[in-house]
Structure 1
Amino acid sequence: MKIFKKKLLSMILGVAVIGSACSQYPTAQQEVESESVTDYVNAFIGTSNKGNTYPGAVLPWGMASPNPQTKDFRLRAGTPATYEYGDPFIYGFSSINLSGVGCPGGGSIPLKLSTGDLDLSSDSFKSSYNSEVSKPGYYSVVLDKHKLRAEMTATKRTARYQFTFNPEVKKTNLYIDLASQMSHMKGGEIKVEEDGTVTGYQLDGEFCDCEGVAKIYFALKVQSTPNAVKVFKDQKEVANTSAKGSDIGVAFSFDGKQNNLDVQVGLSFVSAENAKLNLLTEQKDLAFEDIKLAAKAEWKKQLSKVDIADADVVDKTIFYTALYHSIIMPHIISDVNGEYPLMQKEGVGKAEGYTRYSAYSLWDTYRSVHPMNALLYPKEQRDMTVTMLEMYRESGWLPKWELYGNESWVMVGDPAVPVIVDTYLKGITDIDTDLALEAMLKGATTKENNPLRPGIKNYLELGYCPIDDRGGDPKDFTFHNGIVWGPVSTTLEYNFADYTISKFAEALGKDEIAKKMYDQSMSFKKLYDPSTAFFRPKTKAGEWMEPFNPLDRHYDIRWKGSGGKGYCEGTAWQYRFFVPHAMNELKELMGEEKFFTNLKAMFDEGHFDLSNEPDITFPYLFNYLDNKHHYTQKYTKQESEKYFKNASVGIPGNDDAGTMSAWLVMTQLGIFPDAPGIPVYQFTTPKFNNVTLHLDDYVYEGKTITLNKSGDGEYFNSVTKGNTGEKVKGFSITHDELVNSGTLTFQTELAAVVE
């Protein structure tokens, strides 16, 4: 449990109490044992340094996420963060939010509070604040100006608010402001029904410049009796009980007798009737405290999949917060009756035999979140995989960066493919394999009008995407006009996806397809320049692009930071080893000694960037070299301790829908999936001396894995399994071997021969 309060700094009974809004978090060890694993979650981690996380209430993979808004979003798009630690004001509270994303979206169904006569200006609602409390499934704060405590909790599809005003306050107001969410789209439709329930929808769209628009439906009930209920359009009261437009809202006003406001919000992406149904089903006649306790219990259940024995409290807080952030997205989008919005088209589908999910940041999450889910949360990962296949069935393409039933086509590669293959090869086979192979091959072989794989015609014919034939001027790039972002990066991503298709086809006995896709996956060799030992941009005529600067980081496409010429969000260094499926082939191209010296230089010269997804596996690549495994152990410790802290800045930049957090989870467990789609984990030194993984009954039959670290050092030369002391071969382990190992023991030493 973490409590942030002004002008006080302490750590007592698992409560973090903080000074001013700009102070850092305490790092002193907690004195008393916490009562629950949920007490080790500090949801304020990542709420600055552009981590884009939030401290509000949410359930694991929950649709509803009531949260404070410290930005003024009225009639303009916001930043990707609805909340930033240290901001001076809170403007209101929203019921659906996104965690760790790079474009503004969500912040939906905003509620604003004020006192005195009703005034719809942002200044009348904003307030300084103190005494923030964030626990899994619960958030509260005191708004100084309005003399109220705001509390919120959630079920999967509904939000619950409790606002308590100081008795001396004589007039209070609650405003539902449909012009104040984070999206580029504003407004919607709102109606006050006869029983006082407010229903309608709020628009959300143009995420990362995509063309799709979603309707977020709601049903809101206030348990107190207002003095007045007014409908507004363009900030002017209208005589009707409903309004439609870009700047609309409903205001409730109360006299001083109403010091407690209990507000229930049902949510749906299908209809207001479904929002009502979700509210009725999930909240029933439950009191606020009942919902709060149920939320805590759900978090305890999911976080307890990993049981850490005695350890430093700060270390456990960093770990469990990372696990917490890893299982927020994708989030549920199907209603309690199974209905959901169809992918890329009008209409409603019904999820039969699975739960439907949304918010797939796949270029990020395929690297860590989904492989982690496959081990710790296989049922949810199965449903996420089925969701992706149903998205293909409905839209004709696998998703890339889907949000609320709309595809944005954001980022590069074909990232759904390794997720599906990784899931299947880890024994989660209850999916439609024929549909899956069909979907993968359509993306990998369709030359024309292929929005999933820009540049694929050249890729299939040349073996790479040329720098001088991208499909248009990179200055005109959008995510949906077919222009290739980072031709080198795109080629390497396609190669990796194609390799995983080959492994999937091989598992299905489709040998001819497997060979074709394997051959396709090896074309990265055409972009490898032996004179520089980098993957380099090449022209359509087969010439190297000149000049070449491996440190270039900017303006591959139309914005600074988009990547050096030929690369996506990185430099040539950060793609130097990005062939996760072909380490042996890369060693052969580069030479093992040069492979080692170049890989070591990544870290010693400062080229490694943990916030940059393509190179997050690079610390593990020393395991592929003879007698260099200690460097993996050295650099994983170095980088995780450098970037992950019990502080608002405690994530290395954008959490990318949990990707950075899941990297830390698997790294600190000592078992990292460096090549999703290849069911193998690389070893590094575990953070904790004793950890037990409680695997699910689904697929894994409730087995446990105990990870023991013995000895007093940070380096190890071998790992043993079971009670017999049998050594695991090398410094990696297959998924099946891991699941059936029972116990893994890392025998550490004080030091290693590391130059």
Structure 2
Amino acid sequence: MIQWSPDTVTYQNGGYDYNDNRIRGFSLTHISGAGCGDYGNVPFLPFPGSSPPGYSTFSHSNESASPGTYSVTFDDGIRTDLAVTQRSGIAQFTYPAGQTASLTVDAGKAFNAATGSVTISSNGIAGYTDSGNFCGSGNHYRLFFTVVFDRPFASSSLTGGSLAQVSFDTSANPTVTAKVGISFVSAANAYANLQAEQGGESFAQVKSATRGAWNGMLQRIAVAGGNVFDTVTFYSALYHVLQDPSVFSDTDGRYPGFDGQLHTAAAGHAEYADFSGWDVYRSQAQLLAFLAPQQASDVAQSIVDQGAQAGYLDRWTLANGNTGVMNGDPLPIIGSDLVAFGAIDFDYWNLLWESWQGTVKDNERPGWQSEAGEGFVPAANSWSGATTLEYATADFAISQLASRLGDTAIHDVLLHSSSNWRDILNNNDLYLEPRNADHSFPSFAPTSQNGWLEGDGAQYTWLVPQNPKGLFAALGGPGPVGSRLDTLFANGLNAGPWSAGAYLANEPSTAIPWLYDYAGRPDRTEAVVRQALTTLYSYGPTGEAGNDDLGEMSAWAVWAALGMYPEVPGRAELALASPLFPGITITRGNGVVIDITAPGAADNTPYVTSLQVNGSPSQQPWLSEGFVQNGGTLAYGLSSTDPQNWGTSPADAPPSFDTGPATPVTGRITGLAGKCVDDDQSKLSWGNKIQIWDCNGTGAQQWTTASDGSLQVLGNCMDVANSGTTPGTLVDLWPCNGTGAQQWWPRSDGSLLNPPSGLCLDLPNSNTTNGTQLQIWNCNGTGAQRWTVP
């Protein structure tokens, strides 16, 4: 809850700019590397004399930091040492002799506009501060604090009701100790938090305990044998990952909910806040559950609580308020991620229910009506292409949660809609593109951000993490896809959001390097991941290329160093690259252990020549959910040169998840009068009519229900002519292209739904005359739309 840290005059959303040598205060709350600012509440500033300066200067040579502690000596000679517990902090302010020792505590200051109120006692300050407006969203929170000093004030004053200025007699002892507790409930609770977590402990005791707690968590991944620079980079990233979401409930369990009422977390559990949803669903949430399933269970319960209290699940939440920032529907994905990686000590049935209900809520899913009815969010909506893909990803993740809980009905509906990416596939240029409400495609440039959020069409075309195999088939197959990925990365690993290259400093591109595993080129995953890890991340103050976004980009670095990545949201399979360290031991919070040995692992040895999983040779560039759940051993052979012979077989690719049966089934499709759906005269010409005909056992009537949701005959697909969406549009034969015009989803009444049109396969006027061409029509449940498929 508390992140007591320095804030520089030069503003950064996290509070601190390394290039600035002016500290304006030490505020109590922060979020790590977000794209907008908030918190920065109640800065403390020690100073000499009686007139408070706007800032104090310092040198980095007089500054140090480690997890949970910070120290700096200002150029004016004042030294500040900070250490924290979960909800409280302790500071030592050491003043030079011969000057008045003063301090300001400002409840009316934060990174955004703030107001506050404080009261001053003989040796304490208590009050609250109000702030918010993250990304201009209008969110609001109130933070309470209580500070107790180790001596009475020599003088004190109050300005404007929120700025406390105090001074101390330091003639006998130049070091003033301050203890502070914070709470979102009350000043009394802030004091109770302080007492519960510190009591009479000294600064040294608090610092030691905090260091031990952090080491206990960081050591859940123990790396050995790497160079010191890679090791420091790795643990810095892991430290960032573990900062958020942050504890929000007090030691007595109380916290303010999204409904403005006080609630109490269950005994032994904590409520969490600050969900950078759009960012962290991609890999940070999975890493939390991988390492700390118990805390991750509380994070998941907090998502459920937010939905129950607010009435919907928002995209980016801070303290006890929704902000509406970004797009998609990420909190259900996060919850599904956490369950997949073993966080199950929470009310997961209500997570499923809230997530399912949220698919038809305007405040949770703007534009859901179009997406549900026609398979995509129209281009007139902001970020329409990105939102279509984000909703499809969310639908898949929720479908997997439903499957784990045995709800086949929700699973089946959302698994189908997870393929809505096909409805924005333009088969003319093989890009995923924004689409107009009339189903036409507006003008498109791959390097334009129109329809996309923090990325462009060249990057977003790959955002189908649930089904790389289906995407690759639609884009021409693994060979062309591999070449196209090569071109993307040749144009830059971090080329920005208006480029033909990748943008690995931001979330929409983070999953792309791992796609080579699905295309039979794990060597390229190994090379690109290692290049990105060693060039975009380092141990210095500029050691991360983009916003950390509350740990997401750091999580990518951790996974990359482990040589594994949770590519598919809502699942726990791990796509593989190669480990950076010769020895890695992962000890999950539930006692499961994964041991990784990779003799010779180094920055320049990214290529896998062999892999043994639990002692048995493996050619698979991925790990199963069972391995993640049960643990085991991985033994790698690595090389600095590319063997191009490990993990290349299509049969060894990681699993993709499509809408049709896992194993295609072939047979006839029958309708009214027992007649068969038929490819007219077995012709293979494009546009050949699909008709009704007497069943005759020919190949023209042998239809395959394929795994991609299409119906195939003689190597081609049943297709809605010209991707039409109006009743009466005819159905014809066309080469399979992975578009929505070739999707046919069985429904419980026996009909076959074409999702982009929202219409059903239909026998016109129930006419069973041989040669009657099929069409799409309003779904009506009549016999003309009832089909028996293989």
Task: Tell me which interval the TM-score lies in, with the shorter structure as reference length.
Answer: 0.7 to 0.9
**Structure 1 residue aligned with 2:104, among 175, 185, 191?**
175
Distance, in Å, in 1 between the alignment partners of 2:265 and 2:134 is 25
Are the aligned partners of 1:89 and 1:129 in contact in 2 as well (CA < 8 Å)? no
| SS of structure 1 residue aligned to 2:6 | strand
Partner of 2:196 in structure 1?
281
SS at match of 2:23: coil
Secondary structure class of the residue paired with 1:664:
helix
Query: Out of 591, 608, 612, which is 2:506 matched to?
Result: 612
Identify if the C-alpha distance between structure 1 residues 508 and 348 changes in structure 2 by more than 3 Å, giving closer, same or farther.
Answer: closer
The residue type paired with residue 599 of structure 1 is: L
Instruction: List gaps (5 residues or longer) in structure 2.
Output: 493-500, 646-790
2-structure distance, mates of 1:570, 1:426: 28
1:105 aligns with 2:20: no
Q: 1:197 aligns with which of 121, 124, 127?
A: 124
User: Which residue in 1 is equivalent to 2:676?
Assistant: none
**Higher deviation after alignment, 172-181 or 456-465:** 172-181
Query: Counterparts of 1:89 and 1:741 in 2: how far apart (Å)?
Result: 48
Letter of the 2:115 partner, please give it: G
Superposed counterparts of 1:281-300, under 5 Å: 281-300=196-215
Task: Give the whole-Å Cα distance in 1 for the aligned partners of 2:288 and 2:506.
Answer: 21
| Residue in 1 that maps onto 2:463 | 578
> What residue ranges of structure 1 are gaps of 5+ in the alignment?
1-62, 73-77, 234-242, 471-484, 553-563
The reply on whether 1:708 has 2:597 as its aligned counterpart is yes
- TM alignment of 1:493-532, pairs within 5 A: 493-532=390-429
Match of 2:167 among 246, 250, 253: 253
What is aligned with 2:664?
Answer: none
Distance 2:543 2:12 in 1: 19
- Report if aligned partners of 2:368, 2:377 keep a CA contact under 8 Å in 1: yes
Residues 270 and 348 of structure 1 are in contact (CA less than 8 Å); yes or no, is this contact kept in structure 2? no
Deviation by residue 1:230-260 (Cα, 9 ceiling, x = unmatched): 1111xxxxxxxxx3xxxx2111123452522
Other-structure match for 1:480: none
Tell me if structure 1 keeps the 8 A contact 2:293–2:342: no
CA deviation string 1:653-689 (max 9, x = no partner): 1111011111111111112111121221011110001
Question: Does the 8 Å CA contact 1:718/1:731 hold for their aligned counterparts?
Answer: no
Q: Deviations over 1:66-124 (max 9, x none)?
A: 1111127xxxxx541311102021111111111111111111111112212x22452xx
| Alignment match, 2:240 | 325
Q: Which residue does 1:600 correspond to in 2?
A: 486
CA gap 1:728/1:389 in 2 versus in 1, 3 angstroms: farther
Q: Partner of 2:279 in structure 1?
A: 364
- Specify the code of the residue in structure 2 equivalent to 1:595: V
Q: Which residue of 2 aligns with 1:630?
A: 523
Q: CA RMSD in A?
A: 1.7
Structure 1 Cα separation of the partners of residues 400 and 223 of structure 2: 35
One-letter code aligned to 1:706: D
Moved more, 79-88 or 153-162: 79-88
How far apart, CA to CA, are the structure 2 residues paired with 1:711 and 1:136?
Answer: 30
Q: CA deviation at 1:383?
A: 0.7
1:569 paired with 2:454, answer: yes
Shift of 1:537: 1.2
Candidates 38, 47, 51, aligned match of 1:119: 51
Displacement after TM superposition at 1:601 (Å): 1.2
Matched, 1:140 2:47: no
- State the shift of 1:522 in Å: 0.9
Determine the structure 1 residue equivalent to 2:618.
728
Alignment match, 1:232: 159
Give yes or no for the alignment of 1:590 onto 2:475: yes
Instruction: Choose which of 543, 547, 550 in structure 1 pairs with 2:446.
Output: 550
Q: CA deviation at 1:614?
A: 1.0
The answer as to whether partners of 1:79 and 1:182 remain within 8 angstroms in 2 is no
Identity of aligned residues (%): 28
Does the C-alpha gap of structure 1 residues 140 and 426 become closer, same or farther in structure 2, counting only changes over 3 Å? closer
Q: Which amino acid aligns with 2:304?
A: L
Q: Say if 1:170 and 1:255, in contact at 8 Å, map to a contact too.
A: no
Would you say how many aligned residue pairs link Structure 1 and Structure 2? 631
- 1:342-381 aligned at under 5 Å gives the runs 342-381=257-296
Aligned runs of 1:482-501 on 2, under 5 Å?
Answer: 485-501=382-398
Q: Are 2:623 and 1:749 equivalent residues in the alignment? A: no
Amino acid paired to 1:153: A
Residue 179 of structure 1 aligns to which amino acid in structure 2?
Answer: G
Alpha carbons 1:175, 1:252 under 8 Å: kept: yes
How far the C-alpha of 1:126 sits from its partner, in A, is 2.9
Give the counterpart letter for 2:627 in structure 1: E
Measure how far apart 1:191 and its partner are. 1.0
Q: Corresponding residue for 2:438?
A: 541
Deviation per residue, 1:48-71 (Å, 9 max, x gap): xxxxxxxxxxxxxxx111111112
Shift of 1:399: 3.5
1:252 is matched by which residue type in structure 2? V
Match for residue 8 of structure 2?
A: 70
Match of 1:665 among 543, 549, 558: 558
The separation in 1 between residues aligned to 2:617 and 2:183, in whole angstroms, is 52
Q: Which residue of 1 aligns with 2:14?
A: 81
2:711 maps to what in 1? none
1:166 paired with 2:60, answer no
Please report how far the alpha carbon of residue 128 of structure 1 lies from its aligned counterpart in structure 2 after TM superposition: 3.5
Distance 1:741 1:191, change over 3 A: closer
Contact 2:395–2:417 (CA under 8 A) maintained in structure 1 = yes
Cα distance, 1:711 vs structure 2: 5.2
Return the offset for 1:291. 0.5
Question: Distance in 2 between the 1:265 and 1:383 partners?
Answer: 25
The amino acid across from 2:592 in the alignment is K
Q: Which has the higher contact order (CA 8 A, sep 6+)?
A: 1
Post-superposition shift, 1:585?
1.1
Give the residue type in structure 2 aligned to 1:253.
Answer: S
Cα distance in 2, alignment partners of residues 362 and 96 from structure 1: 19
Find the aligned partners of 1:656 and 1:112 in 2 and give their Cα distance.
27
Q: Which amino acid aligns with 2:146?
A: A
Q: Quick check: 352-361 or 318-327, which moved more?
A: 352-361
How many angstroms apart in 2 are the aligned matches of 1:429 and 1:81? 32
C-alpha offsets along residues 474-515 of structure 1, whole Å, 9 cap, x if unaligned? xxxxxxxxxxx3100000000011011222222222222211
Cα deviations by residue, 1:551-609 (Å, 9 ceiling, x for unpaired):
12xxxxxxxxxxx1110111111101101111111111112222111111110122111
CA-to-partner distance for each residue in 1:675-720, whole Å, 9 max, x for gaps?
A: 12122101111000111111223xxxx1311111135743114421
* Deviation at residue 186 of structure 1 after TM alignment: 1.3
Q: Choose 1 or 2 for highest CA Rg.
A: 2
Say if 1:487 and 1:567, in contact at 8 Å, map to a contact too. yes
State the shift of 1:751 in Å: 1.2
- Is residue 47–residue 78 contact of structure 2 (8 Å, CA) maintained in 1? no
Q: Secondary structure at the match of 2:350?
A: helix
Q: State how 1:382-393 maps to structure 2 within 5 Å.
A: 382-393=297-308
Distance, in Å, in 1 between the alignment partners of 2:66 and 2:600 is 35
C-alpha distance in 2, partners of 1:711/1:292?
37
CA contact (8 A) 2:8 2:20 kept: yes
Would the alpha carbon gap of residues 543 and 255 (structure 1) be closer, same or farther in structure 2, given more than 3 Å must change? same
Q: Which residue of 2 aligns with 1:648?
A: 541
Q: Which residue of 2 is the match for residue 467 of structure 1?
A: 379
CA distance in 1, matches of 2:281, 2:598: 28
Contact 1:631 1:754 survives alignment (8 Å): no
Alignment equivalent of 2:573, drawn from 680, 683, 690: 680
Whole-Å separation in 1 of the counterparts to 2:215 and 2:343: 24
Looking at structure 1, the residues matched to 346 and 3 of structure 2 have their Cα atoms a distance apart, in angstroms, of 30
